[in-house]
Structure 1
Amino acid sequence: MCSYLHKAPNGVYYFRMGIPADLRPFMGGRREIKRSLGLKDREAAKALIPDMTKAGYALLSQAKRDQAASKPAPVPATKSAMQIERERTRWEHDQLQADLVADDLFANDMEIERLEPVMDALAAGGQVDAPPADIAKAVKLIVANERENAGALIASMQARYGNDARPTETKNQAVECGPGKGIYLDTDIVDGWAAERKPSPRGKDAYWRDAKLFNTMIGRKSVELITKADVMAYKRLLIADPKRSQINVRDRLAYLRTLLEWAAQEDIIPVNVARDVKMAINERRERRKDFSTDDLNALFAGPVHAKGERPKGGFGEAVYWLPLIALFMGARREEIGQLRVQDVRREAYIDDADKRQMAWCIDITDTPDDDALPNQIKNEASNRLVPLHPKLIELGFIDYVKGLPDQSGRVFPGLKPVGIGNKLTDKVGQWFSRYKQQCGIGDKAKVFHSFRHTWKTHAVDAGIPERVCRQFQGHEGKDAADKYGVAPSLRVLVSAIESFRIPGLNINDLLSIDKIK
């Protein structure tokens, strides 16, 4: 057995040695010593472990010497109930902001994708066959892109040569500067981070664009030469750009922090110099709203659920079940849309009377299979097995799944991947935005994602504990303690979901169950 040898998802072997908790402050706060062996052959990788182990113990010995030479660390004060509540509120706010950013990115991408043919025709100087409103939007996007390119170049030159600098080229080109290892943010770091974290193509492209933006404004330098002063200068340049909102600046800094944090964890750089550089937000923005009971009754009295009608987009039964599952389970739209038949199954558990029971569950996972399109989840906490709400079983969801012709395929075979991210449900989201208006819900702050907000509101009202809510919604815990031994059991999850209800929702009277195909 080779305990320090670990295989990454990409097949490359790593040396990993845990760092004792008391020595972590003297090793940059890291939890482990991690080195890529650059090999996919296990026997060849094992041959390197003795030398790596010797080097690892040498690092630990140095940390012990540093510890002995330091003053004893102060004992952290016990947190008050008010502090814990503030941290919980801040954590929930961060989760909400992350979801809102994802929604905004998706909406922007969809608008650009829709108008790409119009922008191409305008750039080529050809005849444009599009409504005047679309032509106007396309022109604005083209102009905004040109301004951003020019502005980024000017900002870069001013950062390096002063406010009187003028670009001598028209290209948006980063300046190579300084000696170093030759490990760059926009190539090596983005590629390495993406190989380990497996983001969607759209997600990787977003990080690459931000790395290029940083290089353009500050200068392209080997990553270990990037200083905190560089990051602060980058922040000031972003803030000075009148076209950028506070939220945009916050997101740009967050993307940079993520890349540098990965580089620090991989020992490419000694410390993440952007870790403490953040953007305070005081802008007011329209938050996603819950669906009211009247909204829900109106939605499920609409033609899709009450009359069995289906849109012409070829979505099939997804338009019927996705809103119901999102409402009663609190799951994300894409998580539901990518379910495979094998992900809907019965699981055993022991109830409060010590009797063996079986529960229908859905397994939300990124585990690959023979499908050419792998599942996508938001983070590691999004991998979860949760029991179905009894109402979904009563309404016939299990019967629908059992009746699918292809029992080795997906639960909603009518959904097709679109866009750079190969998302199955993006078009469903666009359809829902129109459909809810047809049902009389015109509030723009009420979107498909509002089902998740609605679920959380009623879950809290039902007295479901926070850690159980996190399990159902696939949220990460607030601190490190949440990662050890606190995942709720299936027994607890079954009891919780059975208690979930929405007062005033007349679901059985509204749905046309016999018209499910």
Structure 2
Amino acid sequence: MKIACRIQQSRHGVYYYRHQFSALGIRKERRISLQTKNPVIAKEKSLLISAMMIANKTGGRMHDNERDILKKIELLNQKELEEAFRNLEIVITPPNGGNISIKADPNNPADIQAMLQASKDFWASEIGQSMKLNMVQSEHAVSGSPSLPNENSSLTTRTAIAETQVVAGIPLPDLIEKFATRKKDTLAPKTLYEYRNHQQLFSDWIAARKNSPHFPIKQITRQDVSDFIDELLQKGLSNQTVQLKYLSPITGLFELAKNSGLWDAEATFPTYGHKLFTKATAKKVKEKNSWKPFTAEDLRTVFNPSTYLSQQNPTDFWLPLLGLYTGGRIGELCQLLIHDIKQIDDVWAISITDEDECQRLKTPAAKRTIPIHPNLIKMGFLDFVEDMKAFSGMLFPYLTPNRFGNFSETPSERFGKYLDVLGISDPKKVFHSFRSTSNNTLKQNGIPEETRCQFIGHEHETTNSKVYSSEHSVAYLLEHVAPKLSFELAFSELIYPRENILKSTKQKLALKEKHLKNKSAKEQRNQNSK
């Protein structure tokens, strides 16, 4: 019996088994979801379904439901499958059209040999191995003794059993889930999201390479990783990107496997030692790719009262000034709460912290308390803080976090557009350039590195600073560091535009409330429809 089947992929990536047949002279078609987006698994399941149809001489009418059909494929033995493959025709139809056919002519020995080879390949695959192992276990359960292949058993049968035993172990997809669970409280949401994407890419690549969607991590070799690296480089990724963005997350899986007893404690990880990116290279690239500080001319352009005061948003007005006088990252400043602005020993200070559940810091060194620069107070910053107490606990109450809990996405985009309008188009000059500007200004004005690191929130990895000395007090920083952040600009003209800022804040809070109501109503409708 010759049966033609098609494997078709939907626009969502799921593969379907399509079979056409005649019933009472009417041409009909049966579609069965293969419940996978993996082409290897889709092909294996389609071969099994077709073989079952042939072996059972159903003619392809198949009135069973999908679950029963997929369950029946496990009941076929190897002899039935090999016989079925002799008369099998497979046509694969990708989403963009075009057909790929695999046919066998029973009168052509070469075709028969090719299909038998396909059968052998199938039994070496994940599904074939699993089926054979289930058969052996079933026979063992009935007889009470191991059922090993005898001399008349085919080589593929013996190989399938042996290979099933060899590849035992936790598969990559399971380890990726375990990694996400372990790291959810230690990695930033965005970092965890990127790690998962790159780990999944490697897992999919291994699945295709090994013809197995559940290949165990302990069987991955250095050669596998090397070939993966080569493919990424051929796609145009840089050595730095491959090592830092791809190999680091994958190494994390091996480290987790080792800590969980799933990797030999003495064995070297296959991701180590590829030397894509040495320390010397890293230093050169860091210097080349680091954000540039603003020049004196840039600062005069940015803080020109005629253009700067035309901005209406609270973040547009205060964030650049805070960035310049604190060296803070934009994410740190956007998530500030009202109670982070406080007096310590009669000194007004800003506490940059992650104590609230909505706050996150890049590194432990980012947690710091620094004095509010006198120029900020003269511009009316404390008045702004007092005004914001009427709305909520946040300093910028209308901001909402993105999917990673970051409040700075929109303010960062707005500042980038502001620079474009001003004609500052250097891609190395962004909001983070305020941080570079502050650090460089302090350095040029004689502030020691250790003190700069405390003020800016950088790591200072020396035993003396970490173990044998305490941090400077806020009063010391106000007296000895803040005055060194001196810029020849017309800041006296940049007075808090209270009326405009309050009006803008109320409008944006109204829009935020409307958006949240619409979102809540939509979620409720979705819940009711289930």
| TM-score over 0.5 for the pair | yes
What letter matches 1:366 in structure 2? Answer: D
1:387 equivalent to 2:371? Answer: yes
What letter matches 2:324 in structure 1? Answer: L
1:305 equivalent to 2:308? Answer: yes
Q: Paired residue for 1:187? A: 176
Q: Paired residue for 1:330? A: 327
For 2:195, what is the secondary structure of its paired residue?
A: helix
Q: Paired residue for 1:7? A: none
What letter matches 1:237 in structure 2? Answer: E
Structure 2 Cα separation of the partners of residues 494 and 230 of structure 1:
56
What letter matches 2:185 in structure 1? Answer: E
CA offset at residue 400 of structure 1? 1.2
Listed as ranges, the matches of 1:360-509 within 5 Å are: 360-368=348-356, 374-406=358-390, 409-418=393-402, 420-478=403-461, 483-490=466-473, 491-508=475-492
- 8 Å contact kept, 2:291–2:428: yes
Report which of the two structures shows the higher radius of gyration computed on alpha carbons: 2
Q: Paired residue for 1:290? A: 293
Query: Which of residues 191, 206, 225 in structure 2 aligns to 1:203?
Result: 191
Give the count of matched residue pairs: 328
Q: Paired residue for 1:254? A: 248
What letter matches 1:389 in structure 2? Answer: H
What letter matches 2:356 in structure 1? Answer: P
- 8 Å contact kept, 2:176–2:200: no
CA gap 1:197/1:439 in 2 versus in 1, 3 angstroms: same
Structure 2 Cα separation of the partners of residues 499 and 272 of structure 1:
52
Structure 2 Cα separation of the partners of residues 513 and 193 of structure 1:
46
Listed as ranges, the matches of 1:505-516 within 5 Å are: 505-508=489-492, 510-515=493-498
Q: CA deviation digits over 1:405-458, x for unaligned, max 9?
A: 43751001122223x324212111111111122233232321111111111111
Structure 1 Cα separation of the partners of residues 336 and 291 of structure 2:
25
CA RMSD of aligned residues (A): 3.4
- 8 Å contact kept, 2:175–2:253: no
CA gap 1:383/1:259 in 2 versus in 1, 3 angstroms: farther
Structure 2 Cα separation of the partners of residues 340 and 247 of structure 1:
37
Greater CA drift, 253-262 or 265-274: 265-274
For 2:298, what is the secondary structure of its paired residue?
A: helix
Structure 2 Cα separation of the partners of residues 480 and 494 of structure 1:
26
Structure 2 Cα separation of the partners of residues 262 and 483 of structure 1:
29
- 8 Å contact kept, 1:189–1:263: no
For 2:349, what is the secondary structure of its paired residue?
A: strand
Identity percentage of aligned residues: 26
CA gap 1:487/1:226 in 2 versus in 1, 3 angstroms: farther
Q: Paired residue for 1:242? A: 235
What letter matches 1:300 in structure 2? Answer: F
- 8 Å contact kept, 1:290–1:454: yes
Structure 2 Cα separation of the partners of residues 272 and 462 of structure 1:
48
Structure 2 Cα separation of the partners of residues 480 and 234 of structure 1:
40
- 8 Å contact kept, 1:338–1:411: yes
Structure 1 Cα separation of the partners of residues 307 and 360 of structure 2:
27
Q: Mind listing any 5+ residue stretches in structure 2 that lack a counterpart?
A: 1-10, 13-37, 40-91, 96-124, 127-165, 208-213, 502-530
- TM-score, scaled to structure 1: 0.56
Listed as ranges, the matches of 1:48-447 within 5 Å are: 178-182=167-171, 184=173, 187-200=176-189, 202-219=190-207, 221-239=215-233, 241-250=234-243, 251-261=245-255, 264=258, 269=263, 270=265, 273=269, 274-280=271-277, 281=281, 287-303=290-306, 305-307=308-310, 309-310=311-312, 316-348=313-345, 358-368=346-356, 374-406=358-390, 409-418=393-402, 420-447=403-430
CA gap 1:182/1:319 in 2 versus in 1, 3 angstroms: same
Structure 1 Cα separation of the partners of residues 219 and 246 of structure 2:
20
CA offset at residue 398 of structure 1? 1.6
- 8 Å contact kept, 1:339–1:411: yes
CA gap 1:342/1:405 in 2 versus in 1, 3 angstroms: closer
